[in-house]
A and B are shown apart, each in its own frame.
Chain A
Amino acid sequence: MIEKLWTLHFPYAEQIKADEKKKLIDDAILGFKSAGASEVGIVDTYYVSELSEAGMTTFVIVLSAIADVVSVAMAIRTILKSREKNSEILLETPLMKVRINANMSDEAIVKIVKEVSKTLEK
């Protein structure tokens, strides 16, 4: 397994404050670690504002980790479960941006992550 960069988008109606941001980053790291990922680290964080969606701000975490597809899928599932304020996460690669929501089955999430993983390069 090789280390890959995972770009996770967390949509928010409003911009988050520092304590909420810290908790979100901690939840993301914990989610990956508890799913069996190793070498988990935060590479970058920023906000994305798509002005076509007025008022919507997305907080983005770029995370590096060594993990198989199932572990990443389970990490996303764990993060979503631990986040009351986030019912969905968008997984971004240079080629695509896919939406994963809390109601999806484990199989569906694994399938999405598998497709996303194919387009990722470290």
Chain B
Amino acid sequence: MKNKKDKDTLRAFIFGAIYASDSNKPIRIPMELTNLEYLDKIISGELRGISPALKIREWECSICHGDFELCPHQKGKVYDGIKCRRIVNDMEITDISIVDRSKMPRNRIFDLLIISKHNKKKSYIWHGFEVNVEMDRFTDIQNALNKKLIPEKAAHHFSKFFSVNQNGKITYP
């Protein structure tokens, strides 16, 4: 009889970005996909958008860098040639939905990692989709390595592949 720990498993992780405000600094999300029924739709491109719900406690003003609630500046108005933006300061993601296309197109899945375990051996499949900037892919691979989702050799293998291929699918071993 197989030990519970030794049974064959399939896990999937999505990597992407969430732009929480007018800021250009995204929040990176490595997240385990709990419903594996979505896998095919993500791979086919039917579902690639990320739609998060955020709980925000504080906003910063891009003009005075103070609390946006307290400062006199208005979002969208131009002050001395600079457009006022509000920047999220203190937030938590309460929910993430995977949708066909997010209304904010930059919020989407860049990468999909599938880890399968068969007869105690793990194999890894990395799907690289369209990214916002070239470094997104390598950041995601590094994140996967930092979170010990992939071994160092796999990270190196994937990075090497994506240094010559913009998008695509690569397996390890």
Binding site for B on A (CB under 8 A): 14-18, 21, 46-54, 57
Q: A15-B68, A16-B69, A18-B70 are in contact. Are A52 and B56 (CB under 8 A)?
A: no
Assess whether B97 is interfacial by the CB under 8 Å rule.
yes
Additional pairs, 13, CB under 8 Å, beyond known A48-B55, A54-B104: A14-B75, A16-B69, A21-B69, A48-B94, A49-B20, A49-B53, A50-B52, A51-B53, A51-B54, A52-B51, A52-B99, A54-B103, A57-B56
The majority secondary structure among interface residues of chain B is strand
Q: Which 9 A-B pairs have the closest CB atoms?
A: A52-B51, A47-B56, A18-B69, A54-B103, A49-B54, A50-B53, A18-B70, A46-B55, A46-B57
Q: With the chains together, A48 CA to B51 CA distance in Å?
A: 13
Total contacting residues, chain B, CB less than 8 A: 25
Cβ–Cβ < 8 Å partners of A49 in chain B: 20, 53-54, 56, 88
As a 0/1 sequence over residues 33 to 72 of chain B, the CB contacts with chain A under 8 angstroms (1 = contact) are 0000000000000000001111111010000000111100
The distance from the CB of A61 to the nearest CB of chain B, in whole angstroms, is 13
Nearest A residue to B92 by beta-carbon distance?
A46
Q: With the chains together, A14 CA to B21 CA distance in Å?
A: 12
Partner of B53, one of A17, A18, A48: A48
Nearest A residue to B103 by beta-carbon distance?
A54
Report the number of A-B residue pairs with Cβ-Cβ less than 8 Å.
54
Cβ–Cβ < 8 Å partners of B75 in chain A: 14-15
Contact: A51 with B107, CB < 8 Å? yes
Assess whether B18 is interfacial by the CB under 8 Å rule.
yes
Contact: A48 with B69, CB < 8 Å? no
Contact: A15 with B86, CB < 8 Å? yes
Nearest B residue to A50 by beta-carbon distance?
B53
19 contacts between A and B (CB under 8 A): A15-B59, A15-B69, A17-B70, A18-B70, A21-B69, A46-B55, A46-B56, A46-B57, A47-B55, A47-B56, A48-B54, A48-B56, A49-B20, A50-B51, A50-B54, A51-B53, A52-B97, A52-B103, A54-B104
Q: A15-B75, A15-B86, A21-B69 are in contact. Are A51 and B51 (CB under 8 A)?
A: yes
